[in-house]
Structures are given as structure tokens and as C-alpha cells.
Structure 1
Amino acid sequence: MLPARRRLPAQGAVVVTGASSGLGRECALALEERGFHVIAGVRRSEDGEKLLAESLHGRLRPAVIDITDEASVRASAELAAREYGALRGLVNNAGICVPGPLECVEGDQFRRQLDVNVVGHLEMVRAHLPLLRRARGRIVNVTSGLGKAAVPFLGAYATAQFAKEAMSDALRRELAPGGVRVSIVAPGAILTPIWGKVSDAGERVLRDAPPAVAERYRAAFTAFMAGNGQQALASRTTPEDFARAVARALTDVRPRTRYWVGADARRMGRLARLLPDALLDRRFGGITATVGASEAAPAPADRTPT
């Protein structure tokens, strides 16, 4: 039997971004339950009021944080400094998903994906690092199984997740001498409100693409999105599982570099590590098998009798 991993006490202040709903909401409430003081970053003040109503211990403080806005990020760090003086943890959870064939994803949509899921989190790190150093705190960057293997029709999202994985690796190595530890938490499919948002976003991507291009992908992409929704419905992984993994990343005496959450996330990580690209291409080939199937076959070339 393996010995239990040693844990630090759950105390001090933690900032959690993307706490309006879904995994971030569950994480903020669970960390407060364990004993942390939590600054819960939300999109709107009414989201914060709802979250505060669910708080049971008086250790949760909602704050409107737009991680793509420099002034908002700076205000978050100033609030943490004023109220707590130091930070035990920063949980970079906020994110969006821009689904769709890359040929259909416009430049501004792609930039928005990277701005929210990568650039915004680096800005949060930079603003809060002085407070994290004071407490020899932790940074927890939330990615997914798509940070290791890029699935067709989620290319923009996977690009952001790959980038966040690379950013986490670099930060982990750069910040270790100062005592700040960096971990990745990579959840698989979990049924949360994000799935409805992803479906709506996918419809917008196809609607904004040139009609001929959108039609080439429509059938395959629609089937893919339906399958993703079914996978989330069938998943046994819960938001509570995710929150436990984040808590472990914040309290393990020797935190792991990566915490997988869910069998599908672990499986994706193993596939990316063990299979050559050609076999991964074959495994994902079924997703794109019907791309272009509705296009008319080219007419045979005229043959002039000799």
C-alpha cells in the first residue's frame, strides 16, 4: 500500500478566475470549504452575488475580473494585496472554447481564443507574482487533455491549451528558485454549462464562414459536436473531482507537475505520449471521414473520339 501524500494546511488566500459557473464555481466553493480565503473572479457583479449566497463560511469574496483587461487584472492584485498581503495560490481557470474547422475560424476569433486562454493568464501571473513569492505560493493552470493531442474541429482550443502547457513548463522552471510552484490540472469531459456555450459558438463559426467552406465541413462537424455532448453526459467525472485535484495541487507538500482529472483525460495523455503521429492521425480519422462528402464529384473529362 502506497503511503498517503503529505499535505500542507489549507490556509491563506487564493485567487480563482472563471468562478461564475461550472468548474470555477465548484472550485471556489470547495477551496473555501477546506479553509482557504478565496477571491472568486467572476464576469459580472450579479454572478458574484449568486456565488456569495452559496458561500457558507464567510471566507469567499467575489470580484469582477476580466483577465483580458489590464486594469481589471491590476485591480485584482491590488485587492489581494490590500486584503491579505500575500497569496497562497492563483488558479488560472477562466477560459473559452472556439470550436470549428480551422479553415472556418476567423482571425479575430482565433486571437480571442489565445487572448483569453493564454495571454490573460500570463497577465494574471505577472500581476500576482509578488504576492505569491511572499507566501511561497502555488500557481495552478487549468488545461485539458487537448493540451497534449489536437483533435480535429477543436484546433483553436487545442492551440491555446498546448500554449498554456508550454507556458506552465517555462514558468515552473523559472519560478522554482523563488519557491513558487507551478502545476497543471487537466480535466477531461465534465458536464457543465460550458457545453451549451461551445455548441452555440460552433454554430456561429460555421455561420460566419463562407457558405461553400462551411458546407464542406457541416455534416462532420455537427456529428462531432453531438458526440462531444454525449461524452459529457456519459462522463462519470464530476466538478467535485476537479476541485479535489486543484486542492491537491495547492496543498501537496511535493506537488505534481500535472494532475489528470478523469479517465478520458488520462487516456488522451497516454495516447499522445506513446503513439506516433501516424497512428494518432488514424485514430482521429473517423472524425473527418465525411468532410466534403456532400460535394459533387467532378464531371469526367471530355473524350474526343479519335
Structure 2
Amino acid sequence: MTRRSAKFLPPGDKYVLVTGASSGLGRACALQLARVGFRVFAGVRRMSDGEDLAALSPSGRIRPVRIDVTDEGSVAGAVKEITGTAGGAGLWGLVNNAGIAVSAPLECVTPQRMRQQLDTNVIGQLTVTQGVLPLLRRSGGRVVNVTSGLGSVALPFLGAYAAAQFAKEAMSDVLRRELRRSGVGVCVVQPGAITTPIWGKLTDAARRDFDDLPAEVAEPYRTAFSRFLDSSAQQGDTGTSPDDFARTVYRALTAAEPRTRYQVGKDARSLYLLKRVLPDRAMDRRLRAITD
């Protein structure tokens, strides 16, 4: 047995489900996994997006599956379709990538927006995981939960998003411990800032929501939050690409002994290390410039 084969498991036509595959990181991930030999169920909310994605993989290894992670009926329908296709082979991997980002001072986050954030990034991910666990057990496969660098450190004005990512980190730890005896592995991929459509969507939605707030609630934050949103448009320019993320997911799916967490990008690694070494007050001082 070669050194490489001892460390990595070949894709070998195994089935993988990637949620949130319409654009950005999910799209790059689906394409990369298909290129290296997986058969990919690309979870999309609109089938037209899935058809466009499948057209980029002439090998036929990408099969679009309509799935809205916030809709239990949609999840059940997708699981039924995947089960009918994968059959006895089961599902080797679930990449829980679908998500949204709500940005606002926490005082300004409406209950509706907080529910939407948690429903998409946490409850929806658990619903999908529960649905496909029988298929993952069949193959002894693994779950890859995509969080972010903000699953380690909560930044001002991204409290709702960070709360969801912290919750997904905790959920990942519990699943890893509970599923150990079943042979299903669980790991986390934490990407930092990467240029994807999520940044434009985040700032546009945040400005609309903020403009709808009562003046007495919004005014104390207006200057700092506006500056934060202006800078967010540049946050993806870190030198880390969607392909870097996709390659990391590939490693998490094929490592014979996967790590529990993978950081993607220098900023994600820095946040992870800072959280481990800095006291809370020291971290507060480092982040003070955002709100001053």
C-alpha cells in the first residue's frame, strides 16, 4: 500500500450531497468534487440554477436536486430522490453548505430576521442531516458542516450570523460524539472571507433592513455600521478563492482520518488562533475599531 493510499480514500464514484450549490462556495465545491470522481447531488432552490451547473460537468457526475433546507417537505422530497438514485450504495458525504448572512447591530435584528438566520443555517442543516443519516450509515460516510471564521470569534454587527455559526459548531461537536459508534464521521470546514456573491447580498439586505428601522433605534449605530458595510464589500479580497475552499472539502471527504476542523484562509486561521490565546478583554480591544 502506498503512503498516499494509506492517508486518502479514493472518490470511486461515491455519492455526495452538497447543499447551497447554486452559487459561490457550494457551486465551486460541487464542480471540484465532480472533477475528482465523486457523483454529486447539487442541492439548489431553483432547478434552472442546477441545470446550468450540471451543464458545466459534461461527465454527467452532477445531478441537480431541488432542496430548500427551511422547508421540511422539500427536504423529504430531496431525500427520497437521493435514496432512489444512490440505492444500496448509500451516501458517502453530506456537505452542509447552504446558508445566509444577516448583518446588523443585535439591538436592530428583528425576531423575524433572527429566526430566518437560525432556520437556514442551523435548523435547516440539522433537518437535512437527519434525513440522510440512514444513507450515511449505510456507507460509513461523513458529514462536513461548513461554518466560517466567525464560528470562532463573534464580530460586531455580525452577531446573528455568528450566533448561527457558533450553534453549528456546537451541533457538529455533538454529532461527532453521538455518531462515533455508527461509523459516520463529522468535521467542520471554516472558510474565512472569500469573494462570493454572499458579500453583495449581505450588504444590500443590511442597508434595506437598517433603513426600515425607527430612527431612535438606528441612530446610535448609524456611522459605525455604515462604515462597516462599506468595508464589507472589500472583505472578500483576501487571496483565498472558492477553489481553495473546494479543495479543503475534498480533503475532509477523502482523508482516511479527517481532522475535526479545517480552516480555509489566513484570516480564518488567525481568528481561530486568537480565540485560543487571547483573553476576552484583549479580544474586545482588538475589535474595538469596528464600533468606534
TM-score (ref. length: structure 1): 0.92
Q: Quick one: which of 72, 94, 98 aligns to 2:98?
A: 94
Shift, 1:204, TM fit: 2.0
The corresponding residue for 2:172 is 168
8 A Cα contact 1:89 1:250, kept in partner: yes
Secondary structure of the 1:55 match is coil
Cα offset for 1:214? 1.3
Does 1:241 find its partner at 2:244?
A: yes
The alpha-carbon deviation at position 208 of structure 1 amounts to: 2.5
* Deviating more after overlay: 33-42 vs 210-219: 210-219
Aligned counterpart, 1:42: 44
Q: Paired residue for 2:263?
A: 260
**One-letter amino acid matched to 1:288:** T
Partner of 2:68: 66
In the alignment, the residues of structure 1 paired with residue 271 and residue 105 of structure 2 have an alpha-carbon distance, to the nearest angstrom, of 20
SS in structure 2 at match of 1:231: coil
Do 1:88 and 1:132's aligned partners in 2 also have CA atoms closer than 8 Å?
Answer: yes
1:294 is matched with: none
CA deviation digits over 1:64-98, x for unaligned, max 9? Answer: 10001111111111111110121000000000000
Alpha carbons 2:101, 2:117 under 8 Å: kept: yes
Decide which of 202, 217, 224 is 2:228's aligned counterpart.
224
Deviation at 1:128, TM superposition (A): 0.3
SS in 2 for 1:77: helix
What do you get for the CA RMSD once the two structures are aligned?
Answer: 1.1
**Matched residues in 2 for 1:284 and 1:106: separation?**
24
Partner of 1:303: none
Task: Please say if residues 43 and 65 of structure 2, whose CA atoms lie closer than 8 Å, have aligned partners that are also in contact.
Answer: yes
Deviation of 1:229 after TM superposition, in Å, equals 2.0
Query: How many Å apart are 1:201 and its aligned residue?
Result: 1.4
Aligned counterpart for 1:110 among listed residues 107, 114, 118: 114
> Equivalent residues in 2 for 1:273-288 (5 A)?
273-288=276-291
Q: Deviations over 1:121-167 (max 9, x none)?
A: 00001000000000000100000010011000000000000000000
- 207-216 vs 123-132, which deviates more? 207-216
Measure the CA separation in 2 of the matches of 1:36 and 1:45: 21
Q: How many residues align?
A: 286
Contact between 1:105 and 1:209, CA under 8 Å: does it hold in 2?
A: no
SS of residue paired to 1:255: coil
Q: Which residue of 1 aligns with 2:137?
A: 133
**Which whole-Å CA distance do the structure 1 matches of 2:27 and 2:47 have between them?**
14
1:31 aligned partner, one-letter code: L
Equivalent residue for 1:28?
A: 30
Q: Distance in 1 between the 2:217 and 2:269 partners?
A: 34
1-structure distance, mates of 2:155, 2:269:
15
Please state how far the C-alpha of 1:232 moved relative to its aligned partner.
1.2
Q: 1:230: how far off?
A: 1.6
Q: Which runs of 5+ in 1 are unaligned?
A: 290-306
Identity %: 58
> Which whole-Å CA distance do the structure 1 matches of 2:208 and 2:251 have between them?
38
Residue type at the aligned position of 2:180: A
Larger radius of gyration: 1
Post-superposition Cα deviations, 1:2-53, rounded to whole Å, max 9, x if no partner, equal x767110113100000000000000001100111110000111111121111
Contact map agreement 1:171 1:182 (CA 8 A) in 2: yes
2:9 aligns to what?
A: 8
Deviation at 1:175, TM superposition (A): 0.4
Measured after TM superposition, the shift of residue 212 of structure 1 is 2.0
Q: Distance in 2 between matches of 1:43 and 1:217?
A: 34
Structure 1 residue 216 displacement after superposition:
1.7
1:101-137 deviations in Å (ceiling 9; x for gaps): 0111100100110000000000001000000000000
TM-score by length of 2: 0.96
Contact 2:203 2:232 in 1 (8 A): no
Q: Distance in 1 between matches of 2:272 and 2:145?
A: 16
Q: Letter of the aligned partner of 1:162 in structure 2?
A: F
- Structure 1: which amino acid aligns with 2:191? P
Distance 1:176 1:229 in 2: 41
User: Equivalents in 2 of 1:230, 1:193: separation in Å?
Assistant: 12
Between the aligned partners of 2:113 and 2:223, the Cα distance in structure 1 is 22
Distance 2:193 2:225 in 1: 18
**Amino acid of the structure 1 residue aligned with 2:96:** N
Offset, 1:225: 1.8
Report the Cα offset of residue 205 of structure 1.
2.2
The CA deviation at 1:215 is 2.1
Q: List gaps (5 residues or longer) in structure 2.
A: none
1:214 has 2:214 as partner: no
